[in-house]
Structure 1
Amino acid sequence: MYVLVVHNRYSSAQPSGENRVVDEEVRLLRAAGHRVELFERRSDDISAMSLLSKVAVPLRVPWNLAVRAELAARLRSDRPDVVHVHNLFPLLSPAVLAACADVGVPVVATLHNYHQICPPGTLQRDNRPCTECVVARSPLPAVRHGCYRGSRLATVPLAVGHALNRRRWWSGVERFFCISAAQRDILVRSGMPPGLLSVKHNFVPDPGACRTDGGEHLLFLGRLAESKGVRLLMTAWDALAADGGVGVPLVLAGAGPLESEVAAWAAGRDDVRYAGLLDADRCREAVRRSVAVVAPSMALETFGLVAAEAMAAGVPAVAAGHGGFVEIVEEGVTGLLHTPGDPLSLASCIRRITADPARNREMGLAARLRYEKGFSPAVGLDGLLEGYRTALAGRSGGANGAPPMGKKDAGSRRDSRAGRDGGSR
């Protein structure tokens, strides 16, 4: 099979789980013998643009004519079997879908976040979960609150793109991959056609080595931001320290807006170590040596990649009991779930996960089995290929009567829509 992957890469200044997932899927498909090529843009390139080009970036967020022409030419030349769309913001735009329709190439799209219904894609406002746009089935609440970068003006291009292209997504994509059932449920509530949405969890490469003892530290691994629960974790840890601690140190690894605050908090303490941004090998080693990985996210995570990575290494997780985490972590079996946003609940779970080494090892073994059955490369490959075959066969289900946006789109989609069986996976 020949797959063309379309992705706007996020800035390299911050760790991106989405970039990593895209790269790992490409490697997985190629290792299985499939041809995979890339059609990419990089957000890093914006800094090198002329002032005029930078000013034009927001104007092209809803629709980028040049991208449509360039991709259509590439598709006519290369004739891939299927196009797999990931992130289109800010340099690609849904014009990608029109290019695929122009040439008649089927499209699947992975929804890594909530950009389909929430301009910033996070379902979060003022560091708290927010579903106003879900309930309204409109991005207007986000504009009113200035949800993207705290600016109404910056939010407008995203909201306009949402309004103009909402039905184009429905008619232009044969299959959407949701990366958790929790995400799918929210998208259905927002008005997306359920017949187009299937659940395909992210997979995690096998680290090659699992934890062999009880571990030597607790680990936070991720972006150092309020939304990831960093301040919540610091508050919970201070409460534990005041009560005598838990016998192992806390390691925080990552980068982000709270980096200086975390470094200052950790300085001079024996029970905390700030490790900074780790490369892939050091991340795997830090996970493998953990008593548990802590993921106290304040946001409704679509998946929870760090918890699955812990499971791959036979390490249990302590995670927030909402969003995708509730599908990954089975309470008391593969880890513990704390009340989201509650530092006392988080502290209690940390104490429990460290207090009984024998039980901790049992949870680690169960976590590894859960990984093998649900998040391994073999499972990930099967999910990808099933989605591609569904797209090629035109069996992704109806779009609730959503019409295409133009004559070209209508003509190119008509044959692929004919004969659909109306079912959903």
Structure 2
Amino acid sequence: MKVVVAHNRYREAIPSGENVIVDTEIAQLTAAGVEVLPFQRASDSIGDLPLTEKALLPLSPIYGRSAQRDLGELLSRERPDVFHLHNPYPLLSPWVVKTAHKHGVPVVQTVHNYRQVCSSGLYFRDGHNCFDCRGKALGWPAIQHKCYRGSTAQSALMATTLAVHRPTWKSVDRYIALTDRIAAHLTEYGIPDDRIVVKPNGLPDPGEPAPLGTGFLYAARLSPEKGLDLLLNAWRRHPDSSIGHLRIAGDGELRPLAEQAAAERADVTYLGALDRAGMTAARTAAAVVVAVPTWNDVLPTVILEAMSAGRPVLGTDVGGIPYLLGLDSPATAAGWAVPPDAAALAAALPIAAAEAARYAPAARDRYLRAFHPDVLTARLIDIYTGLQANSHPAPR
């Protein structure tokens, strides 16, 4: 089987779980004997583009001329069985779906966010969940609130792109929804249920977990929707050093909050931005990983990493987090989830600290049963095989 995996890589300076997942999936498919043809563009390359391509860059989300040319050549030369798309923005464009179909190649897309409808992809703005663009032919609220990169012009372009490509998205042959929440989002968008498959991301098995560490680890991009302010508000409701130690890893616009908390309290340490080895060491040193986004986070990679390392997770009950932790089966759940409320989180912190050792084996078991690459790669190949059979072709 021969598969093109297409992805517009996010900037390397901003940690991206999506980049990690795509790289991991390519490695897993290759190990399973699938011939993978990566077709990728990187947002980091924008500064090095020729002047002619830079001039056309504002239109790339709609069309992406050079990407269509290069993809067409690849498809003609290699004649793949399946085209698998992840993120198309800004350099690939959803037009790659049309290009693949033009060459007779069925398309599957893994949906990592809500960008079929929402210009930012988050359903989140100004510190709260937002669904103002749902059901609208053109997302005027996104333009009004500068939802894409804080720019009216870029938000107008993205809203226009989403409107133009609504028929394109509805022609995708099979959607992979990472969680049940994403499946519901696609159904509401108008995708038939028989073209949606729920399959989460997975991560390589790091091996048997190290002995449980102590305290809590929060590791995320330090931006408002990731919940750092919520966590610190909850943490400050406990006397200094009364419930263990909190380590914060990451960087972003809320870095001053992390630095201030570390300066004020003996039980908070700010680790800064960490590379992969540093993250592994920080996770090993912890007993509980904290993931407390306030937006409907689809599938936080930090939770998968925690469970694979046998670390239970204290999360918020938003997005895909209850699904990830297996909270529908409390006896085997991999952690706890509470409303994104400071009082509820403050009450849960000492419980998580006291029960971490009891939940650690369940966290590792949840990873092995639901997110191990052997399980998920087999499911992905089954999806590809079903597309090859073309049993449910999407309308062109």
TM-score (norm 1): 0.87
What aligned pairs does 1:375-386 form with structure 2 within 5 A after superposition?
A: 375-386=371-382
Distance 2:54 2:228 in 1: 33
Could you tell me how far 1:138 is from its partner in structure 2? 4.8
2:325/2:366 contact within 8 Å kept: no
Distance 2:104 2:245 in 1: 56
Partner in structure 2 of residue 48 of structure 1:
48
Could you tell me how far 1:223 is from its partner in structure 2? 0.6
Find out whether 1:116 has 2:124 as its counterpart. Answer: no
1:193/1:398 contact within 8 Å kept: no
What aligned pairs does 1:201-220 form with structure 2 within 5 A after superposition?
A: 201-213=200-212, 215-220=213-218
Q: Secondary structure at the match of 2:232?
A: helix
Q: Secondary structure at the match of 1:41?
A: strand
Distance 1:233 1:123 in 2: 21
Could you tell me how far 1:209 is from its partner in structure 2? 3.1
Find out whether 1:260 has 2:256 as its counterpart. Answer: yes
CA gap 1:50/1:98 in 2 versus in 1, 3 angstroms: same
Find out whether 1:35 has 2:35 as its counterpart. Answer: yes
Distance 1:104 1:86 in 2: 19
Partner in structure 2 of residue 228 of structure 1:
226
Q: What residue ranges of structure 2 are gaps of 5+ in the alignment?
A: none
Distance 1:312 1:209 in 2: 9
Which residue, out of 273, 283, 294, partners 1:277?
A: 273
Which is worse superposed, 270-279 or 254-263?
A: 254-263
Could you tell me how far 1:319 is from its partner in structure 2? 0.4
Distance 1:155 1:194 in 2: 30
Could you tell me how far 1:315 is from its partner in structure 2? 1.1
Partner in structure 1 of residue 59 of structure 2:
59
Q: Secondary structure at the match of 1:84?
A: strand
Find out whether 1:245 has 2:245 as its counterpart. Answer: no
Find out whether 1:2 has 2:12 as its counterpart. Answer: no
Letter in 2 for 1:362: R
1:68/1:99 contact within 8 Å kept: yes
Q: Secondary structure at the match of 2:98?
A: helix
Partner in structure 2 of residue 417 of structure 1:
none
Find out whether 1:196 has 2:195 as its counterpart. Answer: yes
Distance 1:144 1:137 in 2: 15
Letter in 1 for 2:201: N
2:229/2:257 contact within 8 Å kept: no
Map Cα deviations across residues 276-326 of structure 1 (whole Å, 9 max, x no partner).
122222222322332110011011011122112111111110001111001
Could you tell me how far 1:53 is from its partner in structure 2? 4.2
Letter in 2 for 1:387: I
Distance 2:236 2:324 in 1: 27
1:65/1:95 contact within 8 Å kept: no
Partner in structure 1 of residue 282 of structure 2:
286
Partner in structure 1 of residue 307 of structure 2:
311
Q: Secondary structure at the match of 1:241?
A: coil
2:315/2:336 contact within 8 Å kept: yes
Find out whether 1:187 has 2:186 as its counterpart. Answer: yes
Find out whether 1:170 has 2:170 as its counterpart. Answer: yes
Letter in 2 for 1:204: L
Partner in structure 1 of residue 128 of structure 2:
128
Could you tell me how far 1:212 is from its partner in structure 2? 2.1
Partner in structure 2 of residue 366 of structure 1:
362
1:129/1:299 contact within 8 Å kept: yes
Alpha carbon RMSD of aligned pairs, Å?
1.9
Could you tell me how far 1:51 is from its partner in structure 2? 6.2
Could you tell me how far 1:133 is from its partner in structure 2? 2.1
Find out whether 1:295 has 2:294 as its counterpart. Answer: no
Letter in 1 for 2:194: G
Could you tell me how far 1:52 is from its partner in structure 2? 6.1
Distance 1:240 1:323 in 2: 27
Identity %: 36
Map Cα deviations across residues 389-414 of structure 1 (whole Å, 9 max, x no partner).
1111113x465xxx53xxxxxxxxxx
1:17/1:305 contact within 8 Å kept: yes
Distance 1:121 1:231 in 2: 21
Q: Secondary structure at the match of 2:166?
A: helix
1:195/1:398 contact within 8 Å kept: no
Could you tell me how far 1:238 is from its partner in structure 2? 1.3
Distance 1:158 1:7 in 2: 18
1:217/1:250 contact within 8 Å kept: yes
Distance 1:38 1:83 in 2: 10
Letter in 2 for 1:245: S
1:132/1:141 contact within 8 Å kept: yes
Partner in structure 1 of residue 349 of structure 2:
350
Q: Secondary structure at the match of 1:240?
A: coil
Letter in 2 for 1:205: P
Letter in 1 for 2:225: S
How many residue pairs get aligned? The number is: 392
| Runs of 4+, deviation exceeding 4 Å | 50-53
Could you tell me how far 1:152 is from its partner in structure 2? 2.6
1:311/1:371 contact within 8 Å kept: yes
Q: What residue ranges of structure 1 are gaps of 5+ in the alignment?
A: 405-425
CA gap 1:382/1:42 in 2 versus in 1, 3 angstroms: same
Which is worse superposed, 256-265 or 270-279?
A: 256-265
Distance 1:124 1:43 in 2: 23
